[in-house]
Amino acid sequence: MRVLDPRLMRRARAARVAIGLDAVIGVVAALLILSQAVLIATIAARAFDGESLSDLMLALVVLVAVVIARAGSAWGFEVVGRRAAIGVLSELRRDVVRSRLRDSHAASLDSAESAEIATAAVAGVDALEVTFARYLPQVVLALVVPLAVLILVAVIDPLSAIIMLVTLPLVPVFMWLLGRHTERVTRDRWRSMALLATHFLDVVRGLPTLRAFNRGEAQVERIAAVSEEYRVAVMRTLRVAFLSGSILEFAATLGIALVAVTIGVRLVDGEIAFASALTVLLLAPELYLPLRNVAAQFHASSEGQAVAERLLDLLDQSDPDSPLDNANLEVRAGALTVPDPRKASVRLEGVSFTYPTRDLAVLNRLDLELSARETVALVGPSGGGKSTLAALLLGFAKPTEGRLTVGGVDIANCDRSAWRAQIAWVPQKPTLFRASVADNIRLGDDSADDSSVRAAAVLAGADGFIDDLPDGYETVVGDGARPVSAGQRRRIALARAFLRDASLVILDEPTADLDESNAELVGEAIERLCEGRTVLMIAHRPELAARADRIVVLDAGRITQDSRRTP
């Protein structure tokens, strides 16, 4: 049972600051606990000795001040923890997004379902707030308060201190035994939740297909089954929480009872003063209380820690050179400058690539040259490595062997952001964000004005249908907004590429799933886009490949044919 994943501490500066502040507040809280017990015992003893209320007024005022200060320390723990939680959550989410955007590790292309990442980065990461706002403060108190109590009790009554010292380890031992089991069942519960989220997202995305094949009822049953698995996992976690609470309460009650019995017997025999006995009795529950609270908050925070472990595992898969902080960004800013692909050839030299989850290489010692201002059509069967090759050029992954060069300069030694600034990418399934059509086109260049956006749309053959939309270029599209057809989506994506005015254009099956009329419109826009640029075009349609200067056939990770189009 770990207090906190050390990887989280290394990544999140807010976590380190929180623990430091919690330690300071914890020491203050421990002193206030001791002061409160001593003051209550002293006031009670003096009252039994017959002192009046006026005689005790100063002590009572001090006691009230101590109680208020103790409440303030508890409030301080909560505030510090929540502020730290906000910082940690922001850093984790930022790192997850940046690792998905910038990651050049193979695992980023072949793992981590989008639903799991979304669930972890939103609902899951929020569970970490309990860890920082409640669990960590209790850990600090569990380290500081028992030590302070034992020292004071040892000074007042050594025998009681020995009894406390003997019985105290029972609580952490039970915590450790139960904590290991809790971590396991919590991870199982999180996996069940991630499975439920992933399956539900797949069903929502595939609703039209399911309805077309009359498979909707079967999916309802499957969702019910996955939900039942999650319910069982949740109930298993709750059973462990209730069981551990009962066991820890028993251990703490046993220790307090032993101290109380011995104190009572010795008080009757006159072996210990009333004020000392009362002080020890008041401190005995305070000795065990932080440990019991740690156990209770551990169960509440275990989900957040399980999610953090999963997110950190995803981040650990990232490229160690990936810029995840400002320092790394500054280092990368001084990297080599990439030559312009309009003026220099792009070469893949002995490039191999293997996904971590697969045994065979997707690309196998591939040699390919894209000459400046040349359009190359990459064709071949599905699974031959075409999209992987595009991902390597985009910097989404690094070759497991070989290198990619532009004008003889290795892309791996260049600023990745500067390299991508020279690329326009039109994926097979372009994404339209929930925003206006103009803003979706402006993704190619966020500084472009309205006239530039319209000019790009005209070149992409998109201006006509955009003007027919209810609000023209201001029409909101994307998830939950006005739907657009597959052909219109592609032309918006092509408009982005025109607006970007990149030197290298990568097109991934831009006419897939389009009817002949839409494919022809997109094909004409592609011809305009290819003028004066270096273009790699993944194509399945023969008529699209015929527009290229060269046709390269890629099969099983190797080039089997490389032919130039005859005029």
Residue 284 scores a pLDDT above 60: yes
Per-residue model confidence as pLDDT tens digits over 415-427:
777 888 888 888 8
Mean pLDDT value across residues 458-475: 86
- Portions of the chain given CATH number 3.40.50.300: 346-564
Per-residue model confidence as pLDDT tens digits over 221-238:
777 777 777 777 777 776
CATH of 346-564, one of 3.40.50.1100, 3.40.50.1980, 3.40.50.300, 3.50.50.60: 3.40.50.300
Per-residue model confidence as pLDDT tens digits over 238-254:
676 666 667 767 777 88
More confident residue, 183 or 489: 489
Tell me what percent of the residues of the chain surpass a pLDDT of 70: 72
Distances 406 to 91, 200, 349, 386 between C-alpha atoms, Å: 35, 44, 11, 19
Mean confidence (pLDDT) of the chain: 77
- Please give the structure tokens belonging to residue 487: 């052909």
- Portions of the chain given CATH number 1.20.1560.10: 6-316
Residue 333 scores a pLDDT above 50: no
More confident residue, 9 or 142: 142
Any residues with CB less than 8 A from the CB of 98 and at least 6 apart, and which?
Answer: 322, 323, 324
Q: What is the pLDDT of residue 94?
A: 74
* Three-state secondary structure readout of 416-479: HHHHHCCEEEECCCCCCCCEEHHHHHHHHCCCCCHHHHHHHHHHCCCHHHHHCCCCHHHCEECC
**CB-CB neighbours of 467 under 10 Å:** 11
Q: What is the pLDDT of residue 539?
A: 82
DSSP H or E stretch at residue 176: helix 170-205
Closest CA to 412 of 104, 19, 169, 125: 104
- Please give the structure tokens belonging to residue 519: 């494919």
Mean pLDDT value across residues 438-457: 88
Mean pLDDT value across residues 484-492: 83
Residue 280 scores a pLDDT above 60: yes
- Please give the structure tokens belonging to residue 413: 């030694």
Residue 100 scores a pLDDT above 70: no
DSSP 384-396: SSHHHHHHHHHTS
Rounded-to-integer distance, Cα 153 and Cα 278, Å: 11
pTM over 0.75: no
Residue 61 scores a pLDDT above 90: yes
Q: What is the pLDDT of residue 322?
A: 39
Per-residue pLDDT band for 329 (boundaries 50, 70, 90) equals very low
Distances 453 to 288, 443, 444, 469, 482 between C-alpha atoms, Å: 67, 10, 9, 16, 20
Q: Which residues of 127-149 are buried (b: 16+ CB within 10 A; e: fewer)?
A: bbbbbbbbbbbbbbbbbbbbebb
Per-residue pLDDT band for 187 (boundaries 50, 70, 90) equals low
DSSP β-bridge partners for residue 508: 538
DSSP H or E stretch at residue 371: none
Residue 102 scores a pLDDT above 60: no
Q: Helices 136-156 & 274-316, crossing angle to 10 degrees? A: 150
More confident residue, 540 or 302: 540
Rounded-to-integer distance, Cα 267 and Cα 141, Å: 30
Distances 401 to 150, 398, 558 between C-alpha atoms, Å: 62, 9, 14
Residue 206 scores a pLDDT above 70: no
133-137, 174-178, 502-506, 510-514: range with highest mean pLDDT: 502-506
Residue at 173: amino acid letter = V
The CATH architecture one would assign to domain 6-316 is Up-down Bundle (1.20)
Q: What is the pLDDT of residue 328?
A: 37
Per-residue model confidence as pLDDT tens digits over 378-403:
888 877 788 888 888 887 778 888 88
Per-residue pLDDT band for 101 (boundaries 50, 70, 90) equals low
Rounded-to-integer distance, Cα 567 and Cα 561, Å: 19
Per-residue pLDDT band for 66 (boundaries 50, 70, 90) equals very high
DSSP H or E stretch at residue 29: helix 13-48
Per-residue pLDDT band for 307 (boundaries 50, 70, 90) equals low
